[in-house]
């Protein structure tokens, strides 16, 4: 279809020239000048004729460009004033149109052609028997067809880009003036050009692009595992295992070899016919490991990009960087560093961001109302708070029997903000419905708060200890009372009573009958410090540590003529793991305690002294 359109267009243009501008015939007013006849120039002018009324005439010679003699013969001068007589009209062989007409001042005229229309109108003053010169041009526009042997060839007319040849290897170029032009076609590194003349009979041109000449180009890149790429004239290619090859047309190319954390290598490569081009590139490491630390959990930023909080380690290419420690409500700390080419790790420590502070005054008529700032209790009304970080904060004011108020406040550096909070009575509260004393209510609330932190209960325990020569079992009951320092930490004191089943089996040292142990029982009073750390879901599990000592627990027995003295008082420590079931709990763990052990004897008395033994302990109890 396109080819048919081009043929029809060729036929149409070849038979009918069509103009694309207002006037296709242009008279150049700037070229108007008289031809002098005097003794200085020695120029002889042929006699100029008279008009039909015998008035003197002037002669005008118009030099035409881009118009044939046959076309010029069809020209006709037109004088709009209608009083001008033109007795002579002649076209010379050197494309000059000669007009002789009545000489007048301010004569207007234009040229008319049956095919090309009219020229622009000009106005000059003429004297009789004098000759003048002018120049004119035929500027007709044509649509021409350019054919090639390649698809996608770039077409230029007089070095002005006009488009690409299509799939039929053609391009229609519109608005080309008649006359001589230079046609050029390029594709990749190839080009061809020719001189053409455009006229109504010559609007189709063929020009082939020179055949492509190619040769191999090879890049060898080290290190081979650098994940490098090669860019040639804007086209990027992957380097595989340190090698890349391609076919390129003969010519000169710019290339860049690049890889992460390496210096890029750029250059020029010349491809010649019959000679393979080989380039070996040794990439140079372009990064070093850098560690940056910032105190107080500040954010670490590098060149305005957030990297981490507190500490960051990573690879940076050589160059200048801005390191920053940032924190909300603080003034950033910056430092500029130059990362040099070195393989050892570089470490930088940033200063802590300086807090930007302001103050806040909170007033209200409920002078005992509780105030919290961002969830932390800070006092009661009225209140002045200093050294508050700039930015938005949440203030909550609450009081028993009143509706809690929440306000947002923005703190600015160096300034004191002031807010007033008035609490409204809660109409649904019992203290107001029944007229109860408000102060008493506050006391009850305080008492409830203290009770909420106090915890006490009863504990039953069984433990078993042993060392060489002794084994002692204990059964006891104790009372524990204390407070919850936080939601997860409980600290208390314990006191109780414990019965010790003592079994001392070291009869060989007594030189008594072997295998006959000495057994007895004592009662001890343990006093100890007890601490628990709650953990897990809803503080159900805990770890408990008890450290203390036992009082009393000393006794003696008489056996086969020997008086044995022993004691179970001394130091002890327990470490248990426990589980809560509501108010009840059980725990089990390890324990260590001083135990009786024979290490000396006499004929009348044997002291069974204490040594530290280890064992296991299990206990159960409940809180109330």
- pLDDT for position 503: 62
Query: What average pLDDT does the segment 148-159 reach?
Result: 93
Query: 385-442 pLDDT, tens per residue?
Result: 999 999 999 999 999 889 999 999 999 999 999 999 999 998 876 554 444 455 555 5
Structural tokens at position 349: 């420590």
Whether the predicted pLDDT of 11 surpasses 50:
no
Band of residue 508 on the pLDDT scale cut at 50, 70, 90: very low
Query: What average pLDDT does the segment 317-339 reach?
Result: 90
- pLDDT for position 458: 92
- pLDDT for position 513: 38
Query: 215-258 pLDDT, tens per residue?
Result: 999 999 999 988 999 999 889 999 999 999 999 888 899 999 99
Q: Element (H or E) spanning 451, and its range?
A: helix 438-453
Of the two residues 576 and 623, the one the predictor is more confident about is 576
What are the residues whose beta carbons fall under 8 Å from the beta carbon of 7, sequence distance 6 or more? none
Contact 563, 576 (CB under 8 A): no
Query: What average pLDDT does the segment 180-202 reach?
Result: 88
Query: 77-126 pLDDT, tens per residue?
Result: 999 977 788 888 899 988 899 999 999 999 999 999 998 889 999 999 99
Lowest mean pLDDT among 300-309, 319-328, 550-559, 601-610: 601-610
Taking alpha carbons only, the member of 499, 503, 505 closest to residue 462 is: 499
Band of residue 450 on the pLDDT scale cut at 50, 70, 90: low
How far is 357 from 361, CA to CA, in rounded Å? 14
Of the two residues 484 and 559, the one the predictor is more confident about is 484
Whether the predicted pLDDT of 507 surpasses 50:
no
- pLDDT for position 515: 41
- pLDDT for position 14: 40
Lowest mean pLDDT among 234-238, 262-266, 538-542, 602-606: 602-606
| pLDDT averaged over every residue in the chain | 83
**First-residue to last-residue Cα distance in the chain:** 100
- pLDDT for position 600: 47
Query: What average pLDDT does the segment 320-344 reach?
Result: 86
How far is 230 from 73, CA to CA, in rounded Å? 66
Of the two residues 23 and 281, the one the predictor is more confident about is 281
Whether the predicted pLDDT of 597 surpasses 70:
no
Band of residue 512 on the pLDDT scale cut at 50, 70, 90: very low
CA distances (Å), origin 479, targets 138, 438, 455, 487: 123, 37, 11, 22
Query: 28-40 pLDDT, tens per residue?
Result: 999 999 986 654 4
- pLDDT for position 514: 38
Taking alpha carbons only, the member of 498, 496, 514, 500 closest to residue 465 is: 500
Whether the predicted pLDDT of 276 surpasses 70:
yes
Of the two residues 210 and 409, the one the predictor is more confident about is 409
254: left (phi over 0), alpha (psi -120 to 50) or beta: beta
- pLDDT for position 411: 93
Taking alpha carbons only, the member of 616, 424, 602, 585 closest to residue 511 is: 602
- pLDDT for position 121: 93
Q: What is the pTM of this model?
A: 0.33
- pLDDT for position 113: 92
How far is 590 from 466, CA to CA, in rounded Å? 12
499 by Cβ neighbours in 10 Å (0-12 / 13-18 / 19+) ranks as: middle
CA distances (Å), origin 7, targets 17, 202, 454: 16, 13, 106
41, β-bridge pairs: none
Which of helix, strand or coil describes residue 412?
A: coil
């Amino acid at each position: 279809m396109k080819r048919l359109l081009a043929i029809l267009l060729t036929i149409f243009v070849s038979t009918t020239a069509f103009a694309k501008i207002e006037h296709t015939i242009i008279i150049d007013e700037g070229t108007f000048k008289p031809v002098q006849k005097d003794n200085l120039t020695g120029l002889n002018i042929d006699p100029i004729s008279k008009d039909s009324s015998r008035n003197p005439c002037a002669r005008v010679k118009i030099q035409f460009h881009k118009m044939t003699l046959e076309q010029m013969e069809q020209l006709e001068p037109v004088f709009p004033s209608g009083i001008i007589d033109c007795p002579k009209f002649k076209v010379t062989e050197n494309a000059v149109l000669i007009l002789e007409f009545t000489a007048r001042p301010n004569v207007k005229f234009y040229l008319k052609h049956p095919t090309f229309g009219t020229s622009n109108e000009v106005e000059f003053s003429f004297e009789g028997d004098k000759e003048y010169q002018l120049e004119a041009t035929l500027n007709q526009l044509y649509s021409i067809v350019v054919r090639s042997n390649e698809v996608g060839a770039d077409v230029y007319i007089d070095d002005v880009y006009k488009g690409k040849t299509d799939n039929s290897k053609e391009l229609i170029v519109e608005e080309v003036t008649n006359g001589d032009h230079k046609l050029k076609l390029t594709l990749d590194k190839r080009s061809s050009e020719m001189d053409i003349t455009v006229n109504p009979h010559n609007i189709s041109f063929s020009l082939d692009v020179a055949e492509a000449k190619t040769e191999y180009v090879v890049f060898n890149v080290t290190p081979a595992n650098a994940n490098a790429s090669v860019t040639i004239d804007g086209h990027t290619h992957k380097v595989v295992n340190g090698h890349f090859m391609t076919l390129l047309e003969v010519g000169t190319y710019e290339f860049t070899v690049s890889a992460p954390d390496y210096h890029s290598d750029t250059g020029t490569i010349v491809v010649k016919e019959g000679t393979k081009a080989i380039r070996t590139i040794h990439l140079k490491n372009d990064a070093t490991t850098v560690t940056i630390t910032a105190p107080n959990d500040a954010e670490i930023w590098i060149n305005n990009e957030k990297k981490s909080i507190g500490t960051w380690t990573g690879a940076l290419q050589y160059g200048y960087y801005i390191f920053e420690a940032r924190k909300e409500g603080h003034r950033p700390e910056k430092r500029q560093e130059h990362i040099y080419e070195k393989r050892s790790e570089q470490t930088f420590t940033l200063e802590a961001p300086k807090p930007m502070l302001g103050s806040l005054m909170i007033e209200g008529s409920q002078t005992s109302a509780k105030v919290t700032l961002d969830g932390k209790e800070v006092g009661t009304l009225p209140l002045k708070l200093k050294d508050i970080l700039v930015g938005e904060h949440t203030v909550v004011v609450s009081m028993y029997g009143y509706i809690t108020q929440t306000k947002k406040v923005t703190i600015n550096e160096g300034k004191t903000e002031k807010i007033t909070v008035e609490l409204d009575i809660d109409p649904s509260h019992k203290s107001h419905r029944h007229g109860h004393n408000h102060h008493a209510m506050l006391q009850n609330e305080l008492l409830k708060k203290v009770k909420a932190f106090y915890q006490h209960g009863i504990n039953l325990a069984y433990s078993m200890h042993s060392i060489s020569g002794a084994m002692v079992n204990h059964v006891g009951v104790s009372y524990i009372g204390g407070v919850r320092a936080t939601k997860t930490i409980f600290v208390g004191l314990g006191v109780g009573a414990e019965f010790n089943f003592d079994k001392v089996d070291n009869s060989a040292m007594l030189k008594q009958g072997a295998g006959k142990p000495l057994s007895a029982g004592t009662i001890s009073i343990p006093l100890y410090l007890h601490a628990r750390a709650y953990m897990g879901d809803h503080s159900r599990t805990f770890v408990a540590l008890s450290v203390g000592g036992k009082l009393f627990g000393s006794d003696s027995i008489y056996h086969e003529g020997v008086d044995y003295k022993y004691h179970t008082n001394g130091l002890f420590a327990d470490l248990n793991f426990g589980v809560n079931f509501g108010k009840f709990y059980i725990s089990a763990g390890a324990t260590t305690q001083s135990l009786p052990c024979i290490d000396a004897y006499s004929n009348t008395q044997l002291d069974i002294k204490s040594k530290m033994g280890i064992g296991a302990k299990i206990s159960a109890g409940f809180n109330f």
